[in-house]
Structure 1
Amino acid sequence: MMKKVLNVSLIATLVLAANGFAADVKPVAVIAVPAAAPVAVSAAPVIFQKPVALRGTVGDVQIQVNLRPKAEVDEGHEGEYFIFGNSHKILLAGDIEKDGVLFMEESVNGTDISGQWDGKLEGDVLVGTWMSADGSITKPFTLKIIPQAQKQTSSKAGKGVVSKQ
């Protein structure tokens, strides 16, 4: 950037000198302007670079997961999930890599880790394994991304559904 400014000043000076105006030309002060700070870009697939909802199962329990990038995009993702028929939300936080690999921890009480999610995005489906914090229980999960239009029209769909636990 600074070279361009210097080159433009030099060319202008030469043009003025060639036209006989060199006596009136004063040196030009060049001010360096710092480049804008780099913007953090999410390493997650495009679908996870904005809030997204997914529905599916953990074991045989029906759930809905809502994920979003954290305020500082390079710090990963956060969100929550709920079991249909239960209004309690379980918090999630972790990372989704560019290749769609997911690692998240959950917290039932907002403080302690109660489980872990390891999975991978395959098309528009996130598949993997949920594991309890102590590692004694594992369950497969399959979550399909909910298209925007369906999220808005189906928000009441889960009411009255009783889940198996």
Structure 2
Amino acid sequence: MRLVLLPLTLFSGFASGLTVEAQDKTGPVSPAASRFAPMANSFFARGIEFQGKMGDDKICMHLQPKTEDRDSVEGSYVVAGGKRNQGKKILLAGEVSGNKLSMEESEDGVDVSGQWDGELKGNVIRGIWQSDDGKVSKEFVLELLPAPKKQTKSKISK
């Protein structure tokens, strides 16, 4: 399955100057996202981080709900060691249907460079990544990273 409106939908959040780092990765769904009914799969209803492998490559991925489309996600990933795309972020956008995740990626922010199709089981997504030309396929396994703990100020008694 290919998302036909990729250029329009993939980078809508990025075109407005928002970056993945600027998003709250641990908090509740933003007020803008609440304009729509909640995501059918609450696992993807907030910013989340994954670590895992795609073939032999180690990757770190961030996903968050898209504010424009119900049951849609956007984000990015980086290949550890800069093996692919010189360590720059590779952008992602896709849809969640039940426990199935389908995303397209773009290395340059314009053209589709690959397709991700996976299934969530517990805190792990497993599936197949395929290059856009279909010549390369790799299995991937992504494990959810725990949300960072918020630091609290301790009171020192005198």
Same fold per superposition (TM over 0.5)? yes
Residue 113 of structure 2: aligned partner: 114
**Deviation at residue 75 of structure 1 after TM alignment:** 6.3
* Cα deviation 1:109-138 (Å, max 9, x = unaligned): 000000000000011000000000011110
TM-score w.r.t. length of structure 2? 0.67
Q: Residues 44 and 146 (structure 1 numbering): CA distance in 2 closer, same or farther, change over 3 Å?
A: farther
What is the root-mean-square deviation in Å for CA atoms of aligned residues? Answer: 2.0
Larger C-alpha radius of gyration, 1 or 2?
1
Residue 85 of structure 1: aligned partner: 81
Question: Any conservation in 2 of the 1:126–1:142 contact (CA below 8 Å)?
Answer: yes
**Deviation at residue 76 of structure 1 after TM alignment:** 1.1
* Cα deviation 1:80-105 (Å, max 9, x = unaligned): 000112231000000012x2100000
- Tell me whether 1:49 sits opposite 2:42 in the alignment: no
What amino acid does structure 1 have at the position aligned with 2:55? G
TM-score w.r.t. length of structure 1? 0.64
Question: Any conservation in 1 of the 2:71–2:96 contact (CA below 8 Å)?
Answer: no
**Residues paired across the two proteins, number:** 113
Alignment partners' CA distance in 1, 2:109 and 2:143: 25
Residue 101 of structure 2: aligned partner: 102
SS of the aligned residue for 2:70 comes to: helix
Residue 144 of structure 2: aligned partner: 145
Alignment partners' CA distance in 2, 1:142 and 1:44: 22
Residue 125 of structure 1: aligned partner: 124
% identical equivalent positions: 41
Q: Structure 2: any 5+ residue segments left out of the alignment?
A: 1-33, 152-158
SS of the aligned residue for 1:62 comes to: strand
Question: Any conservation in 1 of the 2:105–2:115 contact (CA below 8 Å)?
Answer: yes
